[in-house]
Amino acid sequence: MIILEKRPEPSRLLSISTPVFAVIVTMIAGGLLFAALGKNPVEAIRTIFWDPLFGEYAFYYRPQLLVKGAPLVLIAIGLSLGFRAGIWNIGAEGQYIMGAICGAAAGLAFYPSESILIFPLMVIAGALGGWAWAMIPALLKVRFGTNEILVSLMLVYVAEQLLASMSLGLLKNPQGFGFPGSRNIAEWNAANSWIAQDYGMHWGVVAALIAVIMAYVLLNRHILGFNIRLTGEARRAARFAGVNPTRLILFCLGTSGMLAGLAGLFEVSGPSGQVSIDFNVGYGFTAIIVAFLGRLHPVGILLAGLLMALTYIGGDIAESQMGLPSSAIQVFQGMLLFFLLALDLLTNFRVKFASKGTA
C-alpha cells in the first residue's frame, strides 16, 4: 500500500526539480498518446521540443519564441501575485483584450500623428484598460463578497463581445474596404511596439523581463510581497500581522489586470498589428498554466513561459508537418499542468511503500 507522509519541511530540492520531472513525464505520456494516434512518438516529441530551437528552420521559429513567450510571462507574473495570496483572477484573457482595445483606441484617436508621445500614451491607456477591467471583480468582491473567479471569468466573454463590436464598429479601419478590424498599428511608426522585428524583440519582451525582476524584488525584499505570501499561507496570521485584505485584493487584481492589459497592448501594436475579432488566442488562460508551471515564482514563470511558447510553436509544426490533430497538442499541453500538479505533492509529502495494516 502507498502511504503519503507529510514532510516536516517542504523539500527545496524537489520544489525545484518537480517541474523538470513533470516535463519528462509529459514527454513520455505524450509520446504514448502520439503513438496511439499512429505517429512516431520520438519524431513528434523531437518536432515539438527540438525543431523550433535547433531544427532546419529554427531561424524562423526562434523569434516566435519571444513573441509568444512575452505575453505569457507578462500575464503570468501578474496572476502569480494574486495566486500567491489566494486571490484567483481567471479573467486575464478579458483584461488582455481590454488592454488592447483601450491602448489601440487611445493611439488611433490621433492617427496619423507621428508624435513620440503616441506610443507612451497607448501603453498607459492599455495598462489602465486592463486594470479597470480587473477592478470590476475586485470591487464587487470587497464590496459584496462576490467570487472573483466567476466574475473575472464571465467578464472574459463580455470583453470578447466588446472586441467584436469594436472591430466591426468604432475601431473599424475606415480604409479597410469594409473588412472587420482596425487600422494596422504595426505599420504605423509612432505606435508600433517593435524594437527589432527580425529577432522577435518588441516592448512586450522588455516589459516581461522588467516584470520578472520587479516581481522577484517585490516578493523577496518588500513587505508588500511578504504580506502577499503570508496571506496565501495563513490568512489568520496575515490578519494578525495587520494585512488589510481589502487593499491586498485591490492591489493583486489591479496589478494582474494591468499587466494583462499591457500584454494586450504590446500584442495589438506589434505581432498582431490590429484589433480584430479573433485577436485573442488564449494567452490569458494559458498564462494560468504558466504561472503554476513556474511555481508562482518569477524566475520559474520566465522559464515556464518560454517552455509553453515552445510547445505552442512546436505543436504548430507538428500539426502542419506530421498531421497531428490540434486537439492532441492541447491534450499534450494539458498533461503538463496535470503532471506538474500531481508531482507537486512530493514537495510536501513523502511517498512510502508499506505492507498493509500499518496505516
Partner 1 sequence: MTATLLSIRGLTKAYPGVVANDSVSFDIQQGEVHALLGENGAGKSTLVKMIYGLVKPDSGTMTWRGAEFAPPEPRAARASGVAMVFQHFSLFDALNVAENVALGMENPPPMRDLAAQIRSVSENYGLPLDPDRIVGDLSAGERQRVEIIRCLLQDPKLLIMDEPTSVLTPQEVEILFRTLNKLKSEGTAILYISHKLEEIRTLCDHATILRLGKNVGTCIPSETTAREMAELMVGDTLHTPTRTATEDGAPVLRINDLSLSSANPFGTRLKNISFTVHAGEILGIGGVAGNGQDELLAALSGEATSDTNTITVNDAPVGHLGPNERRALGILAAPEERLGHAAAPDMSLTENALLTGALRQKLTKNGFVNWNATRAFAERIIKAFDVRTPGPDTAARALSGGNLQKFVIGREVLQNPKVLVVNQPTWGVDAAAAASIRQALLDLAATGAAIVVISQDLDELMEIADHFGALNEGRMSEIHPALGLTIDEIGLMMGGADETEGAAA
Q: Which residues of the shown chain bind partner 1 in the complex (CB under 8 A)?
A: 8-10, 221-224, 226, 229-230, 233-234, 236-242, 244, 357-359
CB of 246 vs partner 1, minimal distance in Å:
11
Closest CA to 44 of 312, 336, 324, 313: 324
d(CA 38, CA 293): 29
Decide whether 8 or 169 has the Cβ nearer to partner 1: 8
CB of 9 vs partner 1, minimal distance in Å:
5
**CB–CB of 182/173 below 8 Å?**
yes
Decide whether 54 or 221 has the Cβ nearer to partner 1: 221
What is the rounded end-to-end Cα distance, in angstroms, of the chain?
9
**Non-local CB neighbours of 104 within 8 Å, separated by 6+ positions:** 122, 171, 182, 185, 265, 268, 269, 274, 275
Torsion of CA 302, 305, 310, 316, to 10 degrees: -160
> 298: cis peptide before it, omega within 30°?
no
CB of 220 vs partner 1, minimal distance in Å:
8
Decide whether 62 or 350 has the Cβ nearer to partner 1: 350
CB of 230 vs partner 1, minimal distance in Å:
6
Bridge partners, residue 351, by sequence: 4
CB of 16 vs partner 1, minimal distance in Å:
16
Closest CA to 290 of 301, 279, 278, 281: 301
CB of 182 vs partner 1, minimal distance in Å:
41
d(CA 206, CA 277): 27
**Non-local CB neighbours of 225 within 8 Å, separated by 6+ positions:** 217, 218, 219
Decide whether 49 or 226 has the Cβ nearer to partner 1: 226
Single-letter code of the amino acid located at 236: R
Decide whether 8 or 178 has the Cβ nearer to partner 1: 8
CB of 356 vs partner 1, minimal distance in Å:
8
Decide whether 36 or 247 has the Cβ nearer to partner 1: 247
How many Å separate Cα 6 from the centre of its chain?
31
Going from the C-alpha of 101 to that of each of 37, 170, 235, the distances in angstroms are: 41, 10, 36
Decide whether 197 or 348 has the Cβ nearer to partner 1: 348
